[in-house]
Amino acid sequence: MASALDRIRVGSAPDSWGVWFPDDPAQVPWERFLDEVAEAGYSWIELGPYGYLPTDPARLTHEIARRDLKVSAGTVFTGLHRGPSVWEATWEHVSQVAALTQAMGAKHLVVIPSFWRDDKTAEILEPPELTGEQWAHLTKGMERLGHEVKETYGLDIVVHPHADTHLDTEDHVERFLDSTDSDLVNLCLDTGHYAYCGGDSVKLIETYGERVGYLHLKQVDPEILADVVKNGVPFGPAVQRGVMCEPPSGVPELEPVLVAAQRLGVELFAIVEQDMYPCEPDKPLPIAVRTRKFLRSCGA
């Protein structure tokens, strides 16, 4: 048995049940997700796409409490690199999610930059590289968002580097961290996305540890990834090929990541997210049970 990782709080998310959208006939109903995530042995969950779980705070509180669950974070998508013109629409969306997140007693808001390539159709929406001006919009916009979310809702934003967004590779992530104020903006390190984009999670934790405020646990299948990279396969189709695989069969190894995170000396959420959209309704639960057992064997 590995040593106890007593600062790591493990949870799961709708993503591990194949949920990417608020409403989609290919997804399991929200009641089933809540039943099964509790059955699998997790006590913490994320809200997932806004509108998938009930958005009425009283109803949602009742539904999660009766299953002995608690909420660790909400999630928003933002396109702040587009400049001040998108602020109002961004804030309207963020406010909805942040208010529900706050009402659930959570303290984090996971912020995902917008995709330059559509995750459903694979259509190229924007150039994959930002201009200097767009970088400034992105970093200043995230700082403003961090400030406003903290002032208004008491939540910390954690920005999530993600495949097929402008915040993906080690270079981009380091540039982003070096250009933002740690009092306002920190990172949700997704081990799978970071590996997908060529990054080393342990190195990032050891180098920028004070900026890592939250973890998503995920692995990639190295063989499928090599083919995805070689052929420029977009993220959505790559997921359908199974690029995000069940631990511990992929990379990065999760135990060294968790040990490095434990060494930071702060309490951290580590939320399992295995991208499986779309998937058969009976597929997620057995994987979730095995993954929880595996993480216990790591000491988490």
**pTM of the full predicted structure?**
0.97
Q: pLDDT of 162-176, one tens digit each? A: 999 999 999 999 999
Residue 122's pLDDT band (boundaries 50, 70, 90)? confident
Residue 2's pLDDT band (boundaries 50, 70, 90)? low
**Whose CA is closest to 234, among 121, 127, 125, 129?**
121
Q: pLDDT of 43-77, one tens digit each? A: 999 999 999 999 999 999 999 999 999 999 999 99
Q: pLDDT of 232-273, one tens digit each? A: 999 999 999 999 999 999 999 999 999 999 999 999 999 999
* DSSP structure class, residue 29: P
CA distance 169 to 161: 8
State the number of CA atoms in the 13 A half-sphere of 165 facing the CB: 24
pLDDT at 4 over 90: no
List 271's β-bridge partners, or say none. 11, 216
Contact 106, 155 (CB under 8 A): yes
| Pairing verdict, β 268-272 and 244-245 | unpaired
Q: What angle do CA 74, 211, 64 make, to 5 degrees?
A: 20
Q: Which range is least confidently modeled, 33-37, 115-119, 284-288?
A: 115-119
Helix (H, G, I), strand (E, B) or coil at 45: strand
pLDDT at 298 over 50: yes
Q: What is the pLDDT of residue 25?
A: 94
Q: pLDDT of 210-232, one tens digit each? A: 999 999 999 999 999 999 999 99
Q: What is the pLDDT of residue 120?
A: 76
